[in-house]
Structure 1
Amino acid sequence: MRAIQWKKYSISYLFLIPSFLFIATFLYYPVLLAMFHSFTKWNLVESEWIGFDNFTNMFNDPMFVKGALNQLIYTVTDILKAIIFPLLAAELIHMLGGKKLKYMFRTGFILPMLLPGIVTVLLWQNMYDPSNGLINQLLSVLGLESWAMPWLGDEKTAIWSLIMMGFPFIAGLPFLIFYAAIGNMSQDQLEAARIDGATGWHIFTKLHLPFLVPQFKVVIILTIIGSLQDFVKILVMTQGGPGDATINPAMLMYNAAFGASQYGYGSAIGIALFLIILVITLFNMKFLKTDY
């Protein structure tokens, strides 16, 4: 039977071979190569096997420890931003009366997804400019010149300035996930709750939140993965500075590989991030199963 099926679909399988080759060449091979070179001292010209020295140096590196602590702050705040504000926006839009009004606001929140991320980064970089930036100019107009400062140049404010990028934090993908889930809720349950005298707060806490648990899990996992991989905004806006105030492991990996030509050490940091993401993904698949 299997032989018959193989003959029937053999041509279809042949058409899949180019896709598998591309995946193996541009996805799996680089990962395997990075795994190998994470155990070497490699500068693209010479490769010397040094075992676990790169990983030992990584965990003994004060810069990596600082980057890991910064990453914890980034990740926690990213999760809060990805849940609270998009969920609030989705709830408020669903409370609107007319379909046209809902469509207008929904489209308005989704449109920024069409912009390249670097555009947002450069926009906020200009807003934080200490001389002509919008934030300091606005403080000057309000008579609060004493509050003006080099937001990205001060160790006390640099990391929080990066965290505040994108305010009011209504990211398109989490917003769509929450909005779609709320729209798929049983209207009969909602009407029954209103007839029983449930207020908007009770409907939100007793019906909406429990129903949205699968969506929370998806958004949290995607946010953690994105946060661990993100270094573009840090590279463009602060390059990890001032000092090590905004550094994170992904930025350290970039600096080691492309700044100091320590490709083996950079590979070790990349493999460490890969393993963290892999563990989180497996944990989500194993223990946080959802019915969607």
Structure 2
Amino acid sequence: MNKKKYKNGQAYAFLSPFLVLVAVFYILPAFITVAMSFTNLDSAFQWHFTGLKNYEKIFRDPNTLTIIRNTAVFVLIAITGTVVLDLFFAVMTTYFIKSERVSGVFKAFLMIPMITPAVVYSVLWIWLLEASDAGLVNQLYTALTGSLPLNWIAKYPFQIILFATVMVSFAYGTTIFSSAIKSIPENQFKAARVDGASEWEIVKSIILPNIRYHIQFITLWETLGLLTNYVTIMLITDGGPGIKTEVWALSAYHKAFRDQQYGYGAAISMLLIVVVLILMLFVNRVMNQRDRR
């Protein structure tokens, strides 16, 4: 017993620096954010508990419904596009392209947007879509159509942030799906070909069922990431024009750090956390029910 306690003590000693860091930088800020959401903390940094007034203010805000709609549309379209492209590139580079060298080069290109710092990535989009003749897209547009340059970001803000977000997202899912496809036993493909199955039938009846749990994982993972991510939107459009591209996470940032309504921003963040937790529990329950079947 003493030897076991000694081993446990050693384990806790090795883990203690990590646990302290987690407590200081994750757990403690989480409790502070919860407490802050019930205060009117602002630029004066004076704490006055106001109960549920911040939450009531959220639902009285005329912009709340627009922001919720923006968030829902953004997440649904982005997650659909991301998963579809993940599957397409994974199947193409793993099943149809047999050469590891060729598929590896292609996957390396897919990784570039993901490993590029968000600031650099967003600045590249702003430069490409520059409203003057200096923008690369406008140079092509004016050369092909003879029209005047367009302010693409102002005219198509939602489409641009969706496209920019999906470009960053699909590399991770493609890597996961590719690894899952490689783990499928080769005899399943051989048996399907002997039975006369077409390539589409092999993809539909063998590849997709075998990687269904990976699809569920990527869908959940990317959905959670999209709900809490706002950096690309902030850097490209900053939620504009007006609030056309304002999503829930960006709204929390704006209220807290631009308007210095820290208590109100914390309340918006708390509602987002509640939505994420409910979504995680729902998906987990659905997956468990499918496993039991």
Corresponding residue of 1:143: 145
Contact 2:36 2:263 in 1 (8 A): yes
Alignment-derived partner of residue 65 in structure 2: 65
User: Secondary structure at the residue paired with 2:273?
Assistant: helix
Instruction: Mark the CA change 1:65 to 1:144 in structure 2 (over 3 Å): closer, same or farther.
Output: farther
Report the residue type matching 1:246 in the other structure. Answer: T
Q: Which moves more between the two structures, 247-256 or 158-167? A: 158-167
Structure that is richer in helix per residue:
2
2:136 aligned partner: 134
CA, structure 1 residues 144+160, in 2 after alignment: closer, same or farther (shift >3 Å)?
Answer: farther
Letter of the 1:191 partner, please give it. K
Identity among equivalent positions (%) equals 27
User: After the TM superposition, which segments of 4 or more aligned residues of structure 1 sit over 6 Å from their partners?
Assistant: none
Partner of 1:283: 282
The answer on whether the counterparts of 1:64 and 1:252 sit within 8 Å (CA) in structure 2 is no
TM-score, normalization by structure 2: 0.91
Corresponding position of 1:274: 273
CA offsets 1:133-185 (integer angstroms, 9 cap, x no match): 22222111212626x5212223xx21112112267667221110111111111
1:234–1:240 CA contact under 8 A, matched in 2: yes
CA contact (8 A) 2:40 2:48 kept: yes
Residue 245 of structure 1 is matched in structure 2 by 244
Task: State the alpha-carbon separation in 2 of the partners of residues 113 and 255 from structure 1.
Answer: 25
- CA-based RMSD of the aligned residues comes to 2.0
**Quick check: 230-239 or 191-200, which moved more?**
230-239
Please say which of residues 190-199 and 166-175 is displaced more in the overlay. Answer: 166-175
Q: Offset of 1:48 from its aligned partner?
A: 1.3
Structure 2 unpaired stretches of 5+? none
1:209 aligns with 2:211: no
Q: Name the counterpart of 2:54.
A: 54
Give distance in 2, aligned partners of 1:45 and 1:111: 42
Distance 1:32 1:247 in 2: 26
Q: TM-score, normalised by structure 1?
A: 0.91
Query: Distance between the aligned counterparts of 2:83 and 2:256, measured in 1?
Result: 34
CA distance 1:103–1:260, change in 2 (3 Å): closer
Asked whether the equivalents of residues 113 and 121 of structure 2 are also in contact (C-alpha less than 8 Å), the reply is no
- SS of the residue corresponding to residue 40 of structure 2 reads strand
* Alignment check: 8 A CA contact 2:114 2:168 kept: no
Write the letter of the residue equivalent to 2:246.
Answer: I
How far does residue 111 in structure 1 lie from its aligned partner after superposition? 4.2
Whole-angstrom distance in 2 between the partners of 1:170 and 1:145: 33
Q: Structure 1: how far apart are the matches of 2:235 and 2:117?
A: 14
Equivalence for 2:262: 263
Per-residue CA deviations over 1:83-133 (Å, capped at 9, x if unaligned) read 111211111112124332223223332344332122221111111211122
Once the two structures are TM-superposed, the CA of residue 287 in structure 1 deviates from its matched residue by 3.1
C-alpha contact (below 8 Å) 1:231/1:248 kept by paired residues: yes
CA gap of 1:119–1:239, structure 2 versus 1, over 3 A, is: same
1:84 aligns with 2:97: no
Q: Distance in 2 between matches of 1:167 and 1:265?
A: 30
CA distance in 1, matches of 2:64, 2:143: 41
- Corresponding residue for 2:154? 153
Residues 162, 8 of structure 1: alpha-carbon distance in 2 compared, 3 angstrom cutoff? closer
Q: Name the amino acid aligned to 1:137.
A: Q
Distance 2:138 2:166 in 1: 16
Equivalent residue runs for 1:148-187 within 5 Å = 148-154=149-155, 157-165=156-164, 171-187=170-186
Corresponding residue number in structure 2 for 1:113: 114
2:74 paired residue number: 74
Map Cα deviations across residues 209-246 of structure 1 (whole Å, 9 max, x no partner): 11121111111111111111111122211111111111
- Quick check: 1:64–1:248 contact (8 Å CA) kept in 2? no
Alpha-carbon distance change, 243 to 227 in structure 1, aligned in 2, over 3 angstroms: same
What is the deviation of 1:187? 0.7
Where structure 1 has 5 or more consecutive residues not aligned to the other structure, the ranges are: none
Is residue 257–residue 263 contact of structure 1 (8 Å, CA) maintained in 2?
yes
Q: Aligned to 1:288, what secondary structure does the other structure show?
A: helix
- Summarize the Cα distance change of 1:15–1:168 in structure 2 as closer, same or farther, 3 Å threshold: closer
Higher mean displacement: 59-68 or 111-120: 111-120
